[in-house]
Structures are given as C-alpha cells and as structure tokens.
Structure 1
Amino acid sequence: MNVSSSVWLLTVAALCVLVAVDFFVGRKPHDVSIKEAGTWTVVWVVLAVLFGAGLWFAGGSGPTGEFFAGYITEKSLSVDNLFVFVLIMGKFAVPTQYQQRVLMIGVLVALVLRAVFIAAGAAIISAFSWVFYLFGAFLIWTAWKLVQDARKQDHDEEYQENKLLKMAEQRFGVADRYHGTKLFITENGKRIMTPMLVVMLAIGSTDVLFALDSIPAIYGLTQDPYIVFTANAFALMGLRQLYFLIGGLLKRLVHLSYGLSIILGFIGVKLVLHALHESGVHVPEIGIPFSLGFIVLVLAVTTFTSLRASKQQQAGAAGEPAEETRRAAGESR
C-alpha cells in the first residue's frame, strides 16, 4: 500500500490527538467503573473498525484484511500482557485510583517502543530478505516457550523485578508509601523515587519484551509499515480500559496462552513459507483471508474452552466444602 508522507503525518497527528483526549479524560485519579471502561472500550473498537473501513475505500480488501488480522493478533497478545500488569499492580500494591495513570504511561511507552521496533523491522526487511527465516524461527520458539511456561506455572505467580529495576531502586532509593501521582520526593534532604515511578518503570521495561513478540508476529501478516503501525496503535490504545473491563475475567482465560502459542506458531510457519517462496522455492503461501479466519477461530475456541474449564473448576471447588460438611456430619453421628 503506497502511503504518502502527508498521510503518515496526518495519521500520527490524529493518533496523538486521540491519545491526548484519552489522557485528559483519565487525568484525575479515580476508580474506573465497569460502565466507564466498557464505554471507552467500545469507542476504541469502533474507531479501529472505522479506520479499517477507510482502508477498504482507499486500498481495497487486501490492506483491510491485513489490518484486521494484525489488529486482532496484537489485541490478543495485549490481553495476555494484561496478566503481567495484574501481577505488577499486585506486587507494588498500587491503589485502585492510581492504576489508570500507571497504565496510561505504560501504553505511551509501549507505543514509542513499538514505533522504534517497527521502523527497525522495516529497514531490516528491506535490506535482508532472509530475516523472515529469523522472524519465523523466533515465533516458533516463542510459541513453544509459551506452551512450556503455561504448563509449569500459572498467572497467579508473583512478579519478579528485573535487574534494571533493582539497579534503579538501589541507585535512587524508594519511598515507603505512595505520594499521590508524584514520581520523586525529597526525604531527609535526598531526592528519592516514589513507588509510582517504580511501577511505571516495571511496566515500561516489560513493554520491551512484549514488543519483541508482537512486531515479528504482525510482520508475518503484512510487511506494510503503515498497517503494522496503525494496527499496533489501535490495539494498544484501548488496553487501559480493557484492563478494568475484563480484570476479573483474566483469571478465567486459563487456555489463552495455549491459543496464543498456536497463533504465534502458525504465523511463524507462514513466515518461513514466505521466505522460501521469496528464495525461489515453490511452496504454498498462506493468504490473509485464511490467516484472519484461523486467528479468529483459535481465539473463539480458546475463550470457550477457558470459560468452560473455569466453570468446572469453580463447581469442583464449591463441591469440596459440601463434601467435607457431609463427612463431618457423618463422623459426629
């Protein structure tokens, strides 16, 4: 898709306006209600659909299919990232009224990081066609690792601080409590970090790892930098509201990691086939319509099996106390 520099500038400017509106709406610290989160989630989804419709009129079905395939994939990976956000919020005991501010900064950091990764990926792809083999192999390895991690641990584990975060805490020191939304305070004549800044650094540093997975994944669906960037932007910009909307549902998506591993593995194979095709090897390529349908089907099946498994677990947990009560009554007789 041939996109002029003026369209690029207009798109970036429009996205900056949307980010600014989102920031000022949630500028005052408060507890986000389900109604507020749901309303804004719908707004961001509608905006993404309208943008996809605009692509249809401007470039036809090809770019539109690539955008929606990339958008759904990135949105799915972002939902998995919310598990880590939940762990970070719990680790640092972030008050509920400040959580939206932390997430807003995290989303902004993610947008900047992904823009850098997208530009780097486009430059590497244009210079080295063999990088598709590397991207494909990386996604297949990531898919396998995701399955292994899902089998040996669950999302209730404790968040472990990385080395960068520990170095910052040792270098500047950390206050023992939150001071509103302040990032630094002066204590005993020394300028130290607040827990708010520590949480933002934790989410920002994990965004780097998120980008390493998501950028190769979407380049496996489209090599158009404009579509890659806009699909990532729309997927991330509703992430803050989605956190509050499905916060309680996250623990019930017990099979999400397996579904994402299938999607990443599928895209990895698609990249390898594309690389072979570009090298002159006659192999079948996987089209966007099939890719989009496969991704939607995997997510639908994963969601259904997750909710069903969670319901069975809850029913089993509710049955255990009843069984213990019956046993105790029998023993007392």
Structure 2
Amino acid sequence: MFASTAPSAPMVALRRALQPGQPISGQSLARSLGVSRTAVWKMLEDLRAWGYRIDAAPRRGYRLVSAPDLPLPWEVAMALPPSLAGLPVHFFPVVGSTNDEARRLAEAGAPAGTVVVADRQTSGRGRRGRTWLSPPGGLYFSVLLRPQLEPRLVALLSLASAVAVTRAVQSAVPGAGARVKWPNDVIAGGRKLAGILAELSADQETVRFAVIGIGINVETPELDPARAGGGLPPIGLRQLGWTQPRAEVLGRVLAALHRLLGGFEPGQLPAAALVAEASSLLAWKGEEVEVRTPFGSWQGRLAGLAGDGALVLERPGGARQSLYAGDVTLREAGGPPAADPGGPGSIERGG
C-alpha cells in the first residue's frame, strides 16, 4: 500500500474530526468537509485499510477507536504549523532508500519541501557507503531542498538538519539532553539517537537540489553482535520518554528545519545564525576529542565551529585547526579514544 503527494484537505479535516470517544455523524462530516456522504464513507474505508479502528453506530455516527503509529501524509499534516500546510508528503511502508526516492522525485520536478518517509528501508546507507539497517518502527525520511547555495557550503545543510532534530527532541523530551555530534549525528546521554546524510545534484558553481536524509531511532535498536564492542550505543525516543506518534516527531523536525534554513528554497542561507545555534548545541565542546579522517587523525580540544560549519580543534600548544569531515570521538582521560565505526547502533544516516 502506498500513500502519496500532499494530503487532501478533506482527508486532513476528516482525520481532525475523528477523535477517540467523540462520535460524529456521517452527515456532519459530509457537511463540514464539503463532500458527499459516499465520499466520507470511502475515506473512512481508506483509513481502515491503513489500520485505523473506526466504530460506526446508528444515530451516533463514527468514532475513532485507535490509529496506527504510521507517519502517513494526513498525520504529518496535522503535526505541521499552518505555514507548512500542503507540504507534499510521500509515504512508503517499505522502500529501498528514501534518499533515492526523493532524488527520483527531484529529477521529475518535485517542489522544494517534498518529503519521502518510510516505515522501513531495505537499502539504507550512510556516509562513505556505510550500510545502515532500517528496521520497521523507526523514523526514516528525506527532504528535498532547492537552495541557492555554493556546493562548498553544503555541509551547512547537514548541520542545519542535525540542529533541527536536536531542537525537535528538546521540545518533545526536555530532559533528554540531545546534542549535535558533528558533523551529522544527534546524541542523547552519550548515546546515538539520529544520523543524517546529505546528497547533492550540483556542478562546480551551483546546487541544483539537495536531498537530506534523516534517520531517528524510535525504539532502541538491537546492536549487531559483530559491532557491539565499538561505537556509541544507540538509544531511541521511547527510552527517552517520548510517547507520541512518529508523525508528531516528523512534524517538529520539518518545522524546525524550515525555520533554520529560512525556507526549503531559501534565497540566501542564514549561515551565521545557523552556525551560532549549532555551536550552542555542540556535543563535547571544550572536551578533548580525536577526529579521524581519511587523511589521518587529529587530537585536541573541541573549540567550536567556524563560520562555514568546519570543526575547530585547539591543538596542543594553542594552534587552531579547521576540519571539514571526519568522525569525532571523545577521549577518555588516561585511555585511548573510543572507536566509532558507524553502522547499526552507531547511526550513519541511511538515506
């Protein structure tokens, strides 16, 4: 089963009208939605096919008994602010990769802000070609952006996405202690909660479009025994205290990302404000860390972020060094730095 495109206004209105313990007649629904009673019946059957339990009683009407925890387009629409009404949302129960599907839609002319979300991915991936398992029940989605941005500044899109997830988690679970782990992860309590993968279509001077893939653990995933000895352990939103549906989390992230970028098709990225906010949320700021890159490893105190989103290390002796990619690990006092290989339990966002 597949739900696609921006949810229709009648379906959103129907879903808002259906509340547990509050029966409403078919005639009232038809009148408020501006459709026929036959159309109301068909929409109710569509909801039932998705797993909604809806009771119907003569002279009393319809009553919602339960709704599935699926980020369906109309559920996401209800979680969004009015400024994002009509945002195109494509839902897949199973997809190879939400990033791949978003790229296909981008090539076909889909507008900025188009969202692809899945209950499960079969070919999730992360940075540097790493595989990422995406079991059912997580929150896996991609957002299509069409920014007027130089390719060299694309790292700011990943950073903005990490800030958006962090802000969404902070608003949903204030005591979670969510932080941005540069360059593309979100951690809570020293454990990995989410990861991000940005992919571009660009030439040397301009970005045609960008696809930002975001994966958030909802339940804490089981560790792959082969990797259990390395990397930050995972944690899920449920273990942090989150009890609401996944669509609510997605709505909060999209609203935060839209604010941070100044829109999904911004004329000019508010880089200074974005970097300042990311720096305020940076994990391990002021701590001794190691940054491993394809070109070697560097150790020093994590001083903050440069204006273009680069990580700034204060090296022994006081010299500062800017790094644009790498895996950051916290150095334990008196011991070697912990490994952080990525993969299941150590999320490299599966786009």
Task: Check whether TM > 0.5.
Answer: no
TM-score w.r.t. the length of structure 1 is 0.24
What is the TM-score when the length of structure 2 is the normalising length? 0.23
**Higher normalized helix content (fraction of residues):** 1
- Larger RCO, structures 1/2 (Cα 8 Å, 6+ apart): 1
Q: Return the structure number with greater strand share.
A: 2
